[in-house]
Amino acid sequence: MLDIRFVRENAEIVKENMKKKFQENRLGMVDEAIELDAKFRAAKAEGDKLRAEKNKTAKEIGGMMARGEKDKAEEAKKQVSVYASRLNELEIIEVETSAALDKIMRRIPQIIDESVPIGKDDSENVELERFGEAVVPDFDIPYHTEIMERFNGIDLDAARNVAGNGFYYLMGDIARLHSAVISYARDFMIDRGFTYCVPPFMIRSGIVTGVMSFAEMEAMMYKIEGEDLYLIGTSEHSMIGKYIDTIVKEETLPHTLTSYSPCFRKEKGAHGLEERGVYRIHQFEKQEMVVICKPEDSMKWYDVMWKNTVDLFRSLDIPVRTLECCSGDLADLKVKSVDVEAWSPRQKKYFEVGSCSNLGDAQARRLKIRVQGSDGKYLAHTLNNTVAAPPRMLIAFLENNLNADGSVNIPVALRPYMGNKEKIETVN
């Protein structure tokens, strides 16, 4: 979310940014926002002037009455009444224009970083770098649910009976592997200096609209009926919300946090072969990382964060690549974003397992997250990134560590979380 003053003074820059994001249909919003802002400021200025006149006149009435100037006092009272009536009109104008302006400003996208590649949609995202050798073994890799079933590790039918499509039961060694990955990801981030946190799994609407766009909210969030609460789609929302309406001391920055949570998502429109199984589901668990920092440090932390995810996947013998999101694929609040994709030897291609985003001051502006510096207050920058999100990560893990006999290797780093097992064996 941009500052209206910036939009007012840089209208063409804002419009050009929209064009880079292929949002020509929104260009009119810039002029509309500027008009509403002018109307709001005019009403406020007139109101401030009238309020001063009203107060001055009201104070003079007492003196008029004391001097016996009753007719004059009555005229002054009428004038005060006129002022009050107009002030009521102006206050309505201020409230209405402020609400309309806020609604439009929330739809004007953040200015993207100049390094972001220009492209219309995710088909034009740009590969940056590959890490690890993408190997296709000389034996067939089954679909991930088939691998899990060999270990009696998943029950989709029972979950469908209990909760419907998009849910699962994980069992035995697969369930243990799921928990091991989450625990390992937690400790991996703690070892890298991040503070561990378990946040609320429900948040109020004021937090939801502070951290994401309305379109994202409608597509993702489950609302609790009869209450001002939403189930979180990612712990990032709850973690950023922790700072709502706060003033952070500059010397305490950066705040680097890693959080665990279950996540709940509608996943509307999921379809196709690769949406079967546990690719797209309504409930999963995730380890996340969040950074609150000074504006000049946000790009440095952006690089630190995505590299953390790459390093974690490589420590589990999973080849990955980074893919930079082009302008048309960036959500409105994002300045820059990179996806981490894991290699799938079964599909012979990479698929998304995490996303790192720099949101600049967009969330901080909406939630009033300010920093107290030596020269005054300013808005913080916020960033988020996926550390690990089973069960999608389990798909990459199982495919890349599968042996020809059906067993799955446990990398050294994960063994302490799996009872020091070197492999998990199929169940006859």
Phi and psi at residue 170, to the nearest 5°: -100, 140
Residue 117 lies in a domain: no
**CA–CA gap between residue 410 and residue 403 (Å, rounded):** 11
Q: Can you give the pTM of this predicted structure?
A: 0.90
The confidence score (pLDDT) of residue 274 equals: 47
**CA–CA gap between residue 136 and residue 247 (Å, rounded):** 52
Same domain for 80 and 194? no
Q: What is the DSSP letter of 224?
A: P
Q: Which range of residues forms the domain containing residue 338?
A: 122-424
* Block residue for tokens 């001097």: 67
Residue 114 lies in a domain: no
The confidence score (pLDDT) of residue 245 equals: 97
Residue 116 lies in a domain: no
What CATH number corresponds to the domain at position 344? 3.30.930.10
CA distances from 281 to 147, 208, 263, 351 (A): 18, 21, 10, 16
* Bridge-based pairing state of the strands 202-203 and 230-231: antiparallel
The confidence score (pLDDT) of residue 362 equals: 95
What CATH number corresponds to the domain at position 79? 1.10.287.40
Tens digits of per-residue pLDDT, 399-423?
999 999 999 999 999 999 999 999 9
Same domain for 69 and 169? no
Residue 92 lies in a domain: yes
Residue 217 lies in a domain: yes
Same domain for 47 and 137? no
Same domain for 59 and 145? no
Query: Where among 105, 135, 161 does a domain terminate?
Result: 105
The confidence score (pLDDT) of residue 272 equals: 46
The total number of structural domains in the chain stands at 2
**What integer is the mean pLDDT of 259-274?**
73
Same domain for 71 and 173? no
